[in-house]
């Protein structure tokens, strides 16, 4: 069950990146991809509904508090994306769409880049679980030094690629709600677009995962800022 859930999560990531490729597939495909993505998100939250029940009961440590803030940011950005997508729809929700203002389209576009950042960070906060399930799925029962190193090299390569891709895709400009002038040429390189966005998500996930690991490994007295 958990394995299928993780598989659905990865399909959701692929759908999200495909939706970012608006000019590659056109409006109808973008709206259909987005609709399937939101259906998966609803399922994802139904599967994880128990977590919401724990929010008020468990006293949050900094790591948990951070996870909560990111989940709230995810929820907010996805809600904005959903509402704005209905307002500006030309195909799937055309019957209920309003002839929405330019500002709504701009909000839809720019919030997508913040949602991308939250997505990468959210994935990083759940990475231990993802790796455990992946390890089981591939039959990796025991730890293996060679495999651990191979994974490290892969993560490092993805992170470096992600750092360059952030620049290439003008992510910092778009996160400031500004238009980036360069447009991706899908005719010249379709795969490069996906590699870039997936490596950006990978970079953010890796940064989050390793920051949380480092934080957790700090001696308690440093974390609390007290000498013991």
Interface positions with ligand HEM (CB under 6 A): 5-6, 9, 12-13, 16, 41, 44-45, 47-48, 51, 67, 71, 74-75, 78, 119, 122-123, 126, 129-130
**What tokens does 115 get?**
């949602």
Tell the smallest beta-carbon distance from residue 134 to ligand HEM (Å).
11
In terms of CB distance, is 74 or 165 closer to ligand HEM? 74
In terms of CB distance, is 57 or 226 closer to ligand HEM? 57
In terms of CB distance, is 71 or 198 closer to ligand HEM? 71
Q: Which of 104, 115, 100, 132 is nearest to 5 (CA)?
A: 132
Distance between CA atoms of residues 199 and 136, nearest Å:
24
Query: Other C-beta atoms within 10 Å of 32: how many?
Result: 15
Tell the smallest beta-carbon distance from residue 146 to ligand HEM (Å).
26
Tell the smallest beta-carbon distance from residue 198 to ligand HEM (Å).
12
In terms of CB distance, is 40 or 195 closer to ligand HEM? 40
Contact of 15 with 36, CB cutoff 8 Å: yes
Q: Which of 76, 166, 147 is nearest to 68 (CA)?
A: 76
Tell the smallest beta-carbon distance from residue 78 to ligand HEM (Å).
4
Distance between CA atoms of residues 95 and 51, nearest Å:
36
């Amino acid at each position: 069950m958990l394995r299928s859930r993780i598989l659905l999560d990865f399909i959701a990531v692929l759908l999200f990146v495909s939706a970012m490729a608006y000019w590659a597939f056109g409006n109808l495909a973008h709206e259909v991809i987005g609709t399937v993505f939101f259906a998966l998100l609803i399922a994802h939250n139904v599967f994880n509904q128990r977590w919401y029940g724990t929010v008020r009961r468990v006293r949050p440590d900094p790591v948990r508090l951070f996870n909560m803030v990111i989940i709230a940011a995810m929820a907010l950005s996805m809600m904005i994306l959903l509402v704005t997508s209905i307002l500006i729809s030309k195909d799937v929700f055309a019957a209920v769409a309003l002839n929405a203002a330019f500002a709504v389209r701009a909000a839809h576009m720019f919030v997508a880049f913040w949602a991308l950042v939250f997505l990468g960070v959210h994935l990083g906060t759940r990475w231990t679980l993802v790796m455990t399930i992946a390890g089981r799925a591939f039959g990796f029962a025991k730890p293996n030094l060679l495999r651990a190193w191979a994974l490290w090299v892969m993560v490092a390569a993805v992170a470096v690629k992600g750092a360059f891709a952030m620049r290439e895709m003008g992510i910092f400009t778009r996160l400031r709600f500004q238009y980036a002038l360069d447009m991706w040429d899908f005719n010249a390189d379709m795969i490069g677009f996906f590699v870039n966005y997936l490596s950006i998500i990978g970079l953010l996930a890796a940064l989050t995962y390793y920051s949380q690991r480092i934080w957790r490994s700090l001696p308690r007295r440093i974390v609390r800022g007290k000498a013991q």
